[in-house]
Structure formats: structure tokens, C-alpha cells
């Protein structure tokens, strides 16, 4: 989080808090109309938002150029600058993302259950929007358009608090989206950038209980932890993935090798990449040399237990390694005595995001999927499949690693609450 505005005085902090609450109140008022908007109205707005991004691409790229120049002048590492940088292709992808959301079904109004009670009351549970959602996120400006689209389709007004390093890009994107929304007759205050880019605005969002219904932090572990610990607004925790692949005694070793390599190396900077490898003791002599060689060939540094250290180039693994989400070409590795040893290791170290077992043994697969308590448990498949797109949700606001409300990839339905609608004819108790 940026702290460049730390010179503000207490009056400044109060000012930002008041502005955030005022923005949330405008969002609340706008959300009432959005909650009643038809799917056709919302889809028209999404198409107009996509169109506006394409039409105003030069403006968006120019604003992004300012952010990139400032980041480079500040000595920001090139990989972070790359996350920040927009191109014609990336703007086109944002627009396409909005059109994709328009093509998805409307979650609002879906009837989850319903029955006629013994006394004749007709009861149904219906999906409704949360109301006002706060998004706190880092670096990538494309999240601004993605989050605005998902929130609008699910009937929620959104307060966007992106990274201060992307403030010019985000402002240009939000301006384009708001004009497009206003042009279709919806209230543009359903999409707002949070006023202020000091940490005070984040604090104000976290204290806006009653004004903001749900807060979703997306970014590094530090950001997420601070929001979870400090917020009085209900939070949906996303993302840290210390994901394990367990190669069972009954594994097909070719499948195991392919899955370990894919899970570790397909994309290292994402939360569903594998960070730890567990191998059944009976396979130590056959599989450990083979998997270490293949991982090293792919450029991966292996941090292993004693058995793994018997292979050339394997570094010793510490507790810090087993507890870590590397997000790099590193993997921790250990030999476990058996299936229950693997489950115990996972219970101790996992962040409960995604765990995979490789086995041809049905009983082992059943036991692993029942006993491992993670958002996703995979059998004979790469951890990389835990993803809203792969699951067919069509859009994803993040991957929840908490157990309350939503767990795993969150699509449009996870951005809703429910209410009970009960109809009678003068019923009393």
C-alpha cells in the first residue's frame, strides 16, 4: 500500500473517511435502481462499457503511460511495471471480458429453493445482490474493468480502490465506464473510484460497516491479511495458495510427472500453482530421482527433505519452505510414509486453496478427497484447474480461501446474497 500521502494530518484523514462514506451512500442510492434493473438493461450497459473502452483507448493508454513513467522513475521492478502496463491488446481484452460477462446468465432472481408450507404459505429463497461491494486491489488496471463488469451484472454497486501506482489508468477506465453507463440510463454511481489514494481511503472502506456490504481484497498476502484483520465490514478472503501435489503409491508415474511439472511450471505467479510436492515412501527410489531431474531440467529449484537432498542440487527444506507460497520456480518436497502422512502434512502446511492426489487407487482417492479440507481437491489433475474460467463460471472475481459464503473460484452467483419471499392470504400464528 502506498504511503506517499503520510504527511496528511488528522483532519485530512477525517476528510477522506467522510468522502468514502459519501461515495458509499451514492453507491447505495444507485444500487436500489440497479437491483431492480432487468438483465437486458444490465447487458446493454456492459456492451456500452466495452464499446467505450475501445473508443477511448487512446485516452486510457495515455493515462497508463503516466503511471508507467512514474513507476519507472521510482525504480519499480520490471515485472511489476509489466503488470501495470496496458497495450492495445490488453484494452481489447478488457472490452471482450465485459462482453463475455454480458453473455452470462443473470444470477439475480434465481430461485434457490421453494415450497408451499403446511399452512399454505408459499415460500421461496431468491438470489439478490449484496448492494454495495468494496474492491481493494493491487497493480493490474484490468481488474478495474473486470470487477466493474462482474459487480454490475450481479446487481451490485462497486467502490474500486486500486493501487495508487495505477491511479491515472484506473481514473481513465472508470471515467469511460461511467459515461457509458450513464448513456444507457443507469445511474453511473454504480461504478466509482474511491476518493483519495492514501492508506486512509483503505482504512475508511474497512470501517464503513453499514455503508459497504462486502469487502473483497485482491493482491498480495500482506494486503489480504491486513484487510481481514482490520475490517469491520464482512470480508471475502481471496487467494493465497500453498498448493500440494501428493504422488500416491498407486500413482501412474507418467501422469504424476506431467501433473507435477504442469502444476509447478505452467505459470508460477498464480495462486493455483503447486508449491509443494509429497511422494509416498514406496516410490522414493523410483520417482524421486526422476521428478527432481525433470523439475531441474525445467529450471525449478527443489527444496527437499533428507531423501530429496540425496539428489544432486536439492537444497534443504526448512519449515519456512513448507509454509511458503513461492510464486516462483521453487518447490518444497518431502517423502511421506503413506496417504495419512500426506494428509497430515497438508493439514499442517496448506493454505486450503488446492490440493491434488495422483493415484489409480479408488480407495486412496476417496480418502484423500474426503479428508483434505481445501477449497478444491483434485484427483489426477493439475492444481492449475482451480479457476473460474476452467470451471465454466465464465468470469471470476477471485478465488476464496475462506469457508464462509463462498469457497473456491467466485463467479457471478458468489457475488449475490439471498432473501426469502413468503406469500400468504392473511396468515397469522
Binds its own copies by CB under 8 A, chosen from 97, 149, 188, 408: 408
Q: Smaller CB distance to its own copies: residue 327 or 371?
A: 371
Q: Smaller CB distance to its own copies: residue 285 or 419?
A: 419
CA-closest candidate to residue 184, choices 298, 46, 319: 46
Q: Smaller CB distance to its own copies: residue 77 or 426?
A: 426
Report the C-alpha gap between 23 and 293 in whole angstroms: 56
Q: Smaller CB distance to its own copies: residue 230 or 285?
A: 230
Cα separations (Å) of 23 from 29, 133, 190, 191, 211? Answer: 10, 12, 10, 10, 9
Dihedral sign, CA of 92, 98, 99, 104? Answer: positive
418 binds its own copies, rule: CB under 8 A:
yes
What backbone torsions phi and psi does residue 74 show, to the nearest 5 degrees? -80, 0
Report yes or no: 221 and 187 within 8 Å, Cβ to Cβ: no
Q: Smaller CB distance to its own copies: residue 185 or 234?
A: 234
* Shortest distance in whole angstroms from residue 165 CB to its own copies: 28
List the strands of the sheet with 301-304, edge to edge: 315-316, 301-304, 330-336, 274-280, 243-247, 354-358
Binding segment (CB under 8 A) for its own copies, from list 5-13, 142-150, 321-329, 396-404: 396-404
- Give the largest Cα separation in the chain, rounded: 80
Binds its own copies by CB under 8 A, chosen from 38, 74, 232, 269: 232
Dihedral of the CA atoms 47, 53, 55, 57 (nearest 10)?
-160
List the strands of the sheet with 191-193, edge to edge: 191-193, 157-161, 132-137, 214-218
Q: How many residues make contact with its own copies (CB under 8 A)?
A: 70
Q: Residue 33 corresponds to which cell in the numbers above? A: 435502481
426 binds its own copies, rule: CB under 8 A:
yes
* Shortest distance in whole angstroms from residue 372 CB to its own copies: 9
- According to DSSP, residue 349 is labeled H
* Shortest distance in whole angstroms from residue 126 CB to its own copies: 9
Binding segment (CB under 8 A) for its own copies, from list 99-107, 304-312, 321-329, 414-422: 414-422
Binds its own copies by CB under 8 A, chosen from 172, 236, 277, 331: 236
Q: Residue 339 corresponds to which cell in the numbers above? A: 496417504
Report the C-alpha gap between 333 and 351 in whole angstroms: 16
Cell 490440493, residue located = 355
Report the C-alpha gap between 350 and 275 in whole angstroms: 10
Q: Smaller CB distance to its own copies: residue 17 or 259?
A: 259
Question: How many Cα neighbours within 13 Å face the side chain of 138?
Answer: 15
427 binds its own copies, rule: CB under 8 A:
yes
* Shortest distance in whole angstroms from residue 371 CB to its own copies: 7
* Shortest distance in whole angstroms from residue 310 CB to its own copies: 27
* Shortest distance in whole angstroms from residue 209 CB to its own copies: 8
For strand 274-280 and strand 330-336, is the pairing parallel, antiparallel, or unpaired? Answer: parallel
**Per-residue string for binding with its own copies, 245-284, x by CB under 8 A?**
-------x-xx--xx-xxx--x------------------
**Per-residue string for binding with its own copies, 160-199, x by CB under 8 A?**
----------------------------------------
Dihedral of the CA atoms 53, 59, 69, 397 (nearest 10)?
-20
Binding segment (CB under 8 A) for its own copies, from list 2-10, 157-165, 186-194, 380-388: 380-388
Q: Residue 255 corresponds to which cell in the numbers above? A: 501422469
365 binds its own copies, rule: CB under 8 A:
yes
77 binds its own copies, rule: CB under 8 A:
no
Partners of 304 in the beta sheet? 316, 333
Q: Smaller CB distance to its own copies: residue 75 or 426?
A: 426
3-state secondary structure of 247: strand
392 binds its own copies, rule: CB under 8 A:
yes
Q: Smaller CB distance to its own copies: residue 11 or 429?
A: 429
Interface residues with its own copies (CB under 8 A) are 32, 35-36, 115, 117-118, 121, 123, 125, 128, 130-131, 209, 213-214, 228-229, 232, 234-236, 252, 254-255, 258-259, 261-263, 266, 347, 365, 369-371, 373-382, 384-386, 390-392, 402-405, 407-408, 417-429
Amino acid at each position: 500500500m502506498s504511503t506517499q500521502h503520510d504527511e496528511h494530518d488528522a483532519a485530512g484523514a477525517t476528510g477522506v473517511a467522510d468522502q468514502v462514506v459519501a461515495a458509499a451512500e451514492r453507491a447505495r442510492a444507485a444500487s436500489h435502481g440497479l437491483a431492480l434493473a432487468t438483465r437486458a438493461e444490465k447487458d446493454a450497459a456492459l456492451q456500452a462499457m466495452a464499446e467505450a473502452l475501445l473508443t477511448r483507448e487512446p485516452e486510457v493508454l495515455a493515462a497508463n503511460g503516466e503511471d508507467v513513467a512514474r513507476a519507472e522513475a521510482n525504480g519499480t521492478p520490471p515485472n511489476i511495471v509489466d503488470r501495470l502496463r496496458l497495450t492495445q491488446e490488453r484494452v481489447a481484452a478488457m472490452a471482450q471480458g465485459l462482453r463475455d460477462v454480458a453473455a452470462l446468465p443473470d444470477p439475480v432472481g434465481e430461485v434457490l429453493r421453494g415450497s408451499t408450507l403446511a399452512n399454505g404459505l408459499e415460500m421461496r429463497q431468491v438470489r439478490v445482490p449484496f448492494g454495495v461491494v468494496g474492491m481493494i486491489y493491487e497493480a493490474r488496471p484490468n481488474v478495474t474493468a473486470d470487477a466493474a463488469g462482474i459487480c454490475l451484472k450481479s446487481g451490485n454497486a462497486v467502490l474500486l480502490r486500486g493501487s495508487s501506482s495505477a491511479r491515472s489508468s484506473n481514473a481513465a477506465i472508470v471515467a469511460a465506464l461511467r459515461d457509458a453507463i450513464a448513456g444507457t440510463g443507469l445511474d453511473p454511481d454504480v461504478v466509482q473510484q474511491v476518493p483519495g489514494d492514501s492508506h486512509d481511503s483503505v482504512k475508511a472502506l474497512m470501517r464503513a460497516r453499514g455503508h459497504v456490504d462486502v469487502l473483497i481484497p485482491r493482491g498480495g498476502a500482506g494486503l489480504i491479511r491486513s484487510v481481514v484483520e482490520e475490517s469491520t465490514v464482512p470480508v471475502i478472503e481471496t487467494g493465497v495458495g500453498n498448493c500440494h501435489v501428493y504422488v500416491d503409491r498407486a500413482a501412474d508415474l507418467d501422469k504424476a510427472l506431467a501433473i507435477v511439472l504442469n502444476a509447478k511450471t505452467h505459470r508460477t505467479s498464480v495462486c493455483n500453482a503447486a508449491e509443494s510436492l509429497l511422494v509416498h515412501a514406496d516410490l522414493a527410489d523410483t520417482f524421486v530421482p526422476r521428478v527432481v531431474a525433470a523439475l531441474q531440467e525445467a529450471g525449478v529449484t527443489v527444496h527437499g527433505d533428507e531423501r530429496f537432498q540425496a539428489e544432486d542440487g536439492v537444497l534443504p527444506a526448512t519449515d519456512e519452505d513448507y509454509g511458503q507460497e513461492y510464486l516462483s520456480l521453487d518447490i518444497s518436497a518431502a517423502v511421506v510414509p503413506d496417504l495419512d502422512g500426506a494428509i497430515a502434512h497438508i493439514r499442517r502446511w496448506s493454505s486450503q486453496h488446492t490440493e491434488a492426489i495422483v493415484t489409480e487407487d479408488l480407495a486412496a482417492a476417496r480418502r484423500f478427497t474426503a479428508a483434505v479440507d481445501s477449497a478444491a481437491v483434485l484427483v489426477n489433475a493439475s492444481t492449475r484447474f482451480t479457476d473460474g474460467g476452467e470451471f465454466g463460471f465464465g468470469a471470476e472475481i477471485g478465488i476464496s480461501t475462506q469457508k464462509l459464503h463462498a469457497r473456491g473460484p467466485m463467479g457471478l452467483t458468489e457475488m449475490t446474497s439471498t432473501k426469502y419471499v413468503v406469500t400468504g392470504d392473511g396468515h397469522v400464528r
